[in-house]
Amino acid sequence: MTGDGDSNGNIVQIRNLTKTYGEGRRRVLDGVDVDIQAGEFFALLGVSGSGKSTLLNLMSGVDKPDGGQVVIGGTDITALGEVEQTLFRRDHIGIVFQFFNLIPTLTALENITLPLELGGASRRDAESRGRVLLERVGLADRADDYPDKLSGGEQQRIAIARALVGEPLLVLADEPTGNLDGKTGENVLALLLELTRDVGKTLVMATHNPAIVPLADRVCRVHGGALHLEGIGEAIAQQGRES
């Protein structure tokens, strides 16, 4: 059963999560434990290869751990079969990728509504909800345009709308501004935070961008296979300004 979180308000509980890769079995994550609260913006900082994207993949069920548990909304997704994980991800997790991952043969509106239609929603209902989000991301007039007619920033705004259209329990963002120029990235980040906070969604973002730190509710650095909690984003930023 999927709910809104445990008795402590945690929507995600990760326990003793381990992941290794390659012939030498390089240990990327080594016994990770963390709880993430409902409605929280939780930032994962780390250099390339530190394991932050791996952790997001394990949280989404895209990848399987070598050991440990990922519980989302009361469901242990690590105990699900591949088909069940796919359905859980479709129905309860929104994902924003660095490279947008829009389907080139679908219009902006069709990209947004695809998860709803795959989940059984009628086309009329899906399009109605999709158009509401197109309005929210400022692209109501681009509904019928294909991705190759959109700028990078516009494509990422469509990707954000797609991630949120199903009202997921959890939104995962993997370097969502990494493929955009500075100003466009700032605008996309502000939009993502505005939309997730307006509806009280939990956002977990992997990034190497320190500018995100003051915006986060909590910040963890991924290093040496472990998560190192650094504290509340604004407090960390303030310490940096004072040092």
User: Are 60 and 12 spatial neighbours (Cβ–Cβ below 8 Å)?
Assistant: no
| Ramachandran region, residue 12 (left: φ > 0; alpha: ψ -120 to 50; beta: rest) | beta
Least confident of 97-106, 134-143, 159-168, 183-192: 183-192
E-only strand ranges, 177-238? 202-207, 218-223, 226-231
Closest CA to 171 of 87, 52, 59, 58: 59
| Residue pLDDT, tens place only, 168-188 | 999 999 999 888 888 888 888
Helices 108-118, 123-136: crossing angle, 10 deg rounding: 130
Q: Which residues pair with residue 168 across a beta bridge?
A: none
Alpha-helical runs (H) found in 137-232: 152-164, 182-198
- Name which CATH class applies to 10-242: alpha beta
What's the burial of 121, exposed, middle or buried (CB within 10 Å: 0-12/13-18/19+)?
A: middle
| Residue pLDDT, tens place only, 72-87 | 999 999 999 999 999 9
Q: Which residues pair with residue 36 across a beta bridge?
A: 12
120, two tokens:
């059984």
Rounded mean pLDDT, 156-169: 94
- pLDDT at residue 235 is higher than 80: no
For the chain, give every domain's residue range: 10-242
Q: Which residues contact 70 (CB under 8 A, 6 or more apart)?
A: 12, 13, 14, 17, 58, 59, 61, 76, 77, 78
Q: Is the pTM above the cut of 0.85?
A: yes
- pLDDT at residue 219 is higher than 80: yes
Q: Please state, in angstroms and rounded to a whole number, the distance separating the CA atoms of residues 168 and 74.
A: 14
User: Are 96 and 172 spatial neighbours (Cβ–Cβ below 8 Å)?
Assistant: yes
- CA angle 19/23/29 to nearest 5° reads 15
Side-chain-side CA neighbours of 210 within 13 Å: the count stands at: 7
Radius of gyration of the chain (CA): 18
1 band by pLDDT with thresholds 50, 70 and 90: very low
Residue 73 φ then ψ, to 5°: 55, 30
Q: What is the mean pLDDT of the chain?
A: 89
